[in-house]
Chain A
């Protein structure tokens, strides 16, 4: 099972801070996972409609949409950071 976390406006719009999902066959990159989530429709389709607005971390390190993912990874989706 893959653990997914959502922060800031992604969490607000999806109405949840995280979930665990099973990877569909053929899903082995962040980009594939985004497609899988977008295919759910509704709020997911809206949130993931523009991946360029979203940043991703794989196992708590910044990653690109080309990064490979595997079962038991922790994937986090969030907007560009605004701390400091």
Chain B
């Protein structure tokens, strides 16, 4: 059974610590694909407020992780997504994919990020320097990126 770790948390994560935990005792791993998403600044953005749907979020994250493990033959994977108020420059999301070989590890990382962006129930509200805030609109290119993988399957 692949080692799957799913967490939704307010606290910051430590990618080195998470990688060590993912790899502990897994001698057949040849590489780990990793992605960390950060709050991108610009246009007087101060922070993002991340909201989610407790329960459904974890279910979708687990489905995405298990689907990636099956499809790419991963030894294990980790998804950590933060919620709450996150300032510009703060890390938001961590995806780690452990595999025997590089191609599967990197491809699985992209697969999981594409599905997370379009199917995990999180919403971002942007908070600007002048005090006004606005909900982030979804981007069509994120849907297009996900479509290339077909269905989530399992």
Binding site for B on A (CB under 8 A): 5, 7-9, 57, 60-62, 76, 78-84
Is B91's CB within 8 Å of the partner chain A? no
Q: A7 to B123, Cβ gap below 8 A?
A: yes
Can you pick out 21 interface pairs between chain A and chain B where the beta carbons lie within 8 Å of each other?
A7-B51, A8-B125, A9-B135, A57-B53, A57-B56, A62-B119, A76-B56, A78-B53, A78-B121, A79-B123, A79-B135, A80-B138, A81-B118, A82-B117, A82-B123, A83-B116, A84-B81, A84-B92, A84-B113, A84-B120, A84-B142
Sorted from nearest, which 4 A-B pairs have the closest CB atoms? A83-B122, A84-B117, A60-B56, A80-B138
Which residue of the partner chain, among A57, A61, A78, A84, contacts B37 with CB atoms under 8 Å? A84
Interface of B is mostly: mixed
Max chain A CB contacts within 10 Å: which of B56, B118, B125, B137?
A: B56
Is B50's CB within 8 Å of the partner chain A? yes
Which residue of the partner chain, among A5, A60, A82, contacts B124 with CB atoms under 8 Å? A82
Which residue of the partner chain, among B93, B135, B137, contacts A84 with CB atoms under 8 Å? B93
Which residue of the partner chain, among B55, B93, B122, contacts A81 with CB atoms under 8 Å? B122
B 114-154 binary contact with A (CB < 8 Å = 1; else 0): 00111111111100000000011110001000000000000
Residues of A within 8 A of B116 (CB): 83-84
Known: A8-B135, A57-B56, A60-B59. A83 touches B50 (CB 8 A): yes
Is B87's CB within 8 Å of the partner chain A? no
Q: A76 to B117, Cβ gap below 8 A?
A: no
Residues of A within 8 A of B37 (CB): 84
Known: A57-B53, A57-B56. A83 touches B121 (CB 8 A): yes
CA gap between A78 and B56 in the complex, in Å: 12
Is B102's CB within 8 Å of the partner chain A? no
